[in-house]
Amino acid sequence: MIEHRGCRIHFAVRGQGPAVLFIQGVGVHGEGWRPQVDELAADFACVTFDNRGVGRSSPAGAPVTVAQMADDARAVLEAAGFASAHVVGHSLGGLVALQLALDARARVDSLTLMCTFASGRNAAPLTPRMLWAGLRSRVGTRAMRRRGFLSIILPPGPVQDPDALAAGLAPLFGHDLADQEPITGIQLKAMRQANLSPRLPELAGIPTLVMSAAHDPIAPPRVARALADGIPGARYVEADDASHGLPITGAAWVNARLREHLGVLGS
């Protein structure tokens, strides 16, 4: 734990080698990166943490903004004993990773941006699928809400034993999929207020990989492509049979792309 700007922030480090800092999205604990850490810890020092107001980093202790979350990430990296790291962010975490790179460029060896966007206003466009899935994840019985959440993180199609799947995913998200962390609304507000699109050209020279999922209703491929196009030299890849839960449900594909990206960088 570290004390930083009114919050005790919980973090963990697994493995040895070049540092990789993982930044989570809305309401998800740092443990959500376990499918990546289990694979990459053999060759990298994997740093994960609970964002301010999430899990063991509660209560938030100060206003939550993308800039504050980026400062928290920098503080975690420093407390873990690393001057810099390869930075990986998912969803809101990708926006935080962008902010960290803009605020503390020397701390960022590379960027991997998954299922994310440069402006929070581009997230979760009000398509019929997103509206229906969002409603289902908040209304009805607990089982119904779990299935609604699954419809956001999984690609369209039948799911074998959704109740068992939801139960198995709960430890990674840090909570029952029928529930939301109390900080969720605050994080979403912070996300919506952030727009880093005009500053993307400043990231020229930072090796950047943008990962997208073909069925993602929160960060659709067109949004991810615009992000990649805005960062000079960024590379774009897309998973065909995946949605917003890409790092968990498509872990093998993600980990292969991560290893490829970091390997090119001489890690």
Percent of the chain with pLDDT over 70: 97
pLDDT value for 235: 98
- The average pLDDT across 154-181 equals 92
pTM of the shown model: 0.94
Q: What is the largest CA-CA distance in the chain?
A: 50
Which contacts qualify for 260-266: CB closer than 8 Å, 24 or more apart? Answer: 261/110, 261/112, 261/207, 261/209, 261/235, 262/18, 262/20, 262/44, 262/86, 262/110, 264/207, 265/86, 265/109, 265/110, 265/207
Query: Is a pLDDT exceeding 80 seen at residue 130?
Result: no
Architecture of domain 2-123+185-264: 3-Layer(aba) Sandwich (3.40)
Rg over CA atoms, the chain: 17
Cβ–Cβ under 8 Å, residues 257 and 209: yes
Query: Residue 110: CB partners within 8 Å, gap ≥ 6?
Result: 86, 87, 206, 207, 208, 209, 261, 262, 265
Can you give the residue ranges of every domain in the chain?
Answer: 2-123+185-264
16-61 pLDDT per residue, tens: 999 999 999 999 999 999 999 999 999 999 999 999 999 999 999 9
Q: How confident is the model at residue 138 (pLDDT cuts 50, 70, 90)?
A: confident
**Is the separation of the CB atoms in 54 and 27 below 8 Å?**
yes
d(CA 251, CA 231): 25
Percentages helix, strand, coil for the chain, rounded to the nearest 5?
Answer: 45, 15, 35
Burial class of residue 8 in the structure, from the number of CB atoms within 10 Å of its CB (0-12 exposed, 13-18 middle, 19+ buried): middle
